Amino acid sequence: MTNYDREPVRVLMHLNGGYTKVTFERVEGQGLADGGVDWDIPTQKIPFHLRNIGSRFFVIQKAVSLEKDTIEDIREILLQIKIEEM
């Protein structure tokens, strides 16, 4: 059985090259992640109406196992993310 992570994120900015920087809301201002954890995701994966700066949505992806997954597996997992409206 495959596990999936469902993380609430917020759009921070749009980057050159077709990527959007989002921040994981769950870890903002906590411990070593003070200031948050950012992630660059392909803009084309985000529905048009959720691309505005400040928009919030869920990123859903297959859970990554650093012990079991190769770097190629992890790259493929990151390309297969899904977006869900809050």
pLDDT for the residue 4: 84
pLDDT for the residue 53: 98
Q: How far is CA 32 from CA 36, 39, 79, in A?
A: 9, 16, 27
* pTM: predicted TM-score of the whole model, two decimal places: 0.80
Q: Which pLDDT band, with edges at 50, 70 and 90, does 1 fall under?
A: very low
- Within 8 A by CB and 6+ apart from 42, the residues are 18, 19, 20, 79
Tens of pLDDT along 7-38? 999 999 999 999 999 998 887 766 665 667 88
Q: List residues bridging with 41 in a β-sheet.
A: 20
The CATH classification number of 4-85 equals 2.40.50
Tens of pLDDT along 31-77? 665 667 888 999 999 999 999 999 999 999 888 887 888 889 888 88
> Domain residues of the chain, as ranges?
4-85
